[in-house]
Amino acid sequence: LASPLVFLNYGQRSLSDPQLVSGALIDVAKHLGNLSFRVWEKMKEKVHFSPVILDPNTANGFLYLSDDLTSVRDGDTKQQLPDNPERNTKYPCVFGSEGFISGKHSWEVEVGDHPRWNIGYVKESVERKGELYASPKYGIWCLFHRDGKYTNGAGKTLTVKKNLQKIRVQLDYDRGEVSFYDSEDMSHICTHRDTFTKKLFPYLDVGKAADVLPVNLLLIVVHCPLFNCVHNKK
């Protein structure tokens, strides 16, 4: 290898006489265009997945959790469950079992063609027995879907390029951000910005699947710090 001094001198001589042949320059568009997406494609090959475990003690009686506590559906019959303080009795929602008070955390939800759902984060002290709206004002930062229409839970209608099948939820607690992405291409959907002071838990509100067969919402945690860094620099 050439010494740093020799390399520098060579570069200076090249600049003084820039005789370049066709194709000598780096194809910047090829190497940098849509860089974050290509980084994500590479990371998907290496990233390890682990399930988000739902907390059955928070689940509404109409929600049926899988045996491994990683998926949920809304049923027609209400289960007889204890009315413990943690349980959501007014609305069909369930929380994740692990909460966060700092750091960055990511997980994915496979929603498929389910027509009605809310997903995001909820503060631990949220109302669980009475009237509640899925909005930041009430301590819920979510993405809201009803029959093909998406809103940010704060009344703003969102434009998406296609029907979302799998969604990535990213929490940056210290920066006060909850962001949502289309997991297929990591295109940004929306971001909530707030000041968090309470422990936050993954949150799902699951509506009826209408006349179609029940569709489970499948949760998968994804740890991808490199991709987070790429996106946060935008």
User: What domains does the chain contain, in order, with CATH numbers?
Assistant: 54-222 (2.60.120.920)
> What percent of the chain stands above pLDDT 90?
47
pLDDT tens by residue, 101-154: 999 998 888 888 888 899 999 999 999 999 888 999 999 999 999 888 999 988
- Predicted confidence band of residue 207 (pLDDT cuts 50, 70, 90): confident
Segment holding 92, helix H or strand E: none
Non-local (6+) Cβ contacts of 39 within 8 A are: 226, 227, 230
Q: Is the pTM of this model over 0.95?
A: no
Report d(CA 55, CA 134) in Å as an integer: 19
Confidence band for 231, pLDDT divided at 50, 70 and 90? very low
Instruction: List the structure tokens of 213.
Output: 């067969």
